[in-house]
Amino acid sequence: MTNLLSTPTQAPMPHATPAPTFAVISGDQVQRALSGREKQIMELVETTYRLHGAGDSVNPPSYFLRFPDRPTARIIALPASVGGSVHVDGMKWISSFPQNVSAGLPRASAVLILNNPETGYPFACMESSVISATRTAASAALAADWLSRTRTRPRRIGFFGTGLIARYIHTFLAGTDWTFDSIGVHDVSADSTAGFCGYLRQSGTSAQITVHDSPEDLICSSDLVVFATVAGEPHVTSQAWFSHNPVVLHVSLRDLAPEVLLASANFVDDVEHCLKADTSPHLVEQRTGNRDFLNGTLCDVMLGRAAPPADRPVIFSPFGLGVLDLAVGKYVYDETAGAGNLHLIDDFFSDLRRYG
């Protein structure tokens, strides 16, 4: 009689997968990995945009956590996956609490989780407000380069909003060989304005620094305009202020009235992402019922499928893609690991035995 409980012939054991590790990377380590690497990071961001444009990424909509009792605050989840040489999955979890500023804290704080694309296991958690600011600034500097190639390179820049993002954008422009004859500054906060001007002077710029009391003066005197505010709805409405056809980095997304966009050439980082959440481009779509006002994406410009005109203002409105955070975060991880400075958490995964 056959023993139905007998031990079957043993199949070859599968190749053992090493036990997953988990590292925590501090903000100081992030800073060290990224400091002075503006050119490398901008090249990485361009590569990631091209991967995204080619469909070698997954970048679902951002998820907003809002609070009825704290209407100005929010926390956003940006899940994403990117292939190519980056090849990583993960998510950024970033909060924006504007009231922090009055208490002496930065408005935004964030962490980034990186996941192994083969196993799904998270292998790193890192401080990510610097990563977020870095990818935003690298994206803006990249757009300034590509969108100004059909015109005289701007020599007069104006910063509308003078917080952390403005500082990072200037750092990336300076670090990728931009020079300016003049730098204009405008902010509703005198303290922010003074702090930003102090940073500019310490940066070693030879440009003339001018504080403008009015938005009109700032915009009209700048060939490259950077919007880096916390505006929740449009507050710049005059098309005439842009009659000199500047390149506009509309990083904060909600400063410009639909009339301004309709009189300009418009480029975004991703159409579906940008036309949501009552951004200025989304308001134009709601008003017109179409997307005809869009000239294309930044990737379209890089691939030669779209060209920014020289006879109109050119506006870049980036929603901010999670794939960029992953690419920069993976760069930080690799640099930190390569230097032998990973802080591994022993036994983070406490039970890896399927059946005990």
DSSP class of residue 241? G
Whether 77 contacts 63, CB under 8 Å: yes
Torsion of Cα atoms, 280 then 217 then 100 then 139, to 10°: 50
Residue 133 tokens, joined: 């600011």
Per the DSSP assignment, residues forming a β-bridge with 162 are none
Check residue 14 and give its pLDDT.
Answer: 52
Residue 153 tokens, joined: 């390179």
β-sheet with 224-227: strand ranges across: 208-211, 182-186, 156-160, 224-227, 247-250, 314-317, 265-268, 294-297
| CA dist., res. 349 & res. 37, Å (int) | 34
Torsion of Cα atoms, 323 then 254 then 310 then 50, to 10°: 10
| CA dist., res. 269 & res. 260, Å (int) | 19
State in words which class domain 151-317 has.
alpha beta
- Selection from 34, 90, 134, 27 nearest residue 334 by Cα: 34
Check residue 107 and give its pLDDT.
Answer: 85
Question: CB-hemisphere CA count at 13 Å for 238?
Answer: 11
| CA dist., res. 48 & res. 57, Å (int) | 9
- Selection from 141, 26, 38, 132 nearest residue 80 by Cα: 132
Check residue 1 and give its pLDDT.
Answer: 41
Torsion of Cα atoms, 232 then 235 then 236 then 237, to 10°: 120
Residue 100 tokens, joined: 């922090």
- Selection from 62, 167, 45 nearest residue 106 by Cα: 167
Whether 46 contacts 328, CB under 8 Å: no
**Helix, strand or coil for residue 246?**
coil
DSSP count for the chain of H helices, then E strands: 11, 16
Identify the CATH homologous superfamily for domain 23-131+322-344.
ornithine cyclodeaminase, domain 1 (3.30.1780.10)
Check residue 17 and give its pLDDT.
Answer: 64
Alpha helices (runs of H) in 289-321, residue ranges in sequence order: 298-302
Domain ranges in the chain with CATH number 3.40.50.720: 151-317
Distance set, CA 319 to CA 146, 188, 250 (Å): 18, 23, 10
Check residue 9 and give its pLDDT.
Answer: 45
Check residue 6 and give its pLDDT.
Answer: 39
| CA dist., res. 161 & res. 148, Å (int) | 22
Q: What is the pLDDT along the chain (356 residues), one digit of tens a residue?
A: 444 343 444 445 455 567 799 999 999 999 999 999 999 999 999 999 999 999 999 999 999 999 999 998 999 999 999 999 999 999 999 999 989 988 988 888 999 999 999 999 999 999 999 999 999 999 999 999 999 999 999 999 999 999 999 999 999 999 999 999 999 999 999 999 999 999 999 999 999 999 999 999 999 999 999 999 989 899 999 999 999 999 999 999 999 999 999 999 999 999 999 999 899 999 999 999 999 999 999 999 999 999 999 999 999 999 999 999 999 999 999 999 999 999 999 889 988 877 76
Domain ranges in the chain with CATH number 3.30.1780.10: 23-131+322-344
Packed helices 164-175 and 38-53: angle between N→C axes, nearest 10 degrees: 100
DSSP class of residue 256? B
Packed helices 129-147 and 322-338: angle between N→C axes, nearest 10 degrees: 120
Q: What is the CA radius of gyration of the chain?
A: 23
Residue 313 tokens, joined: 């203002």
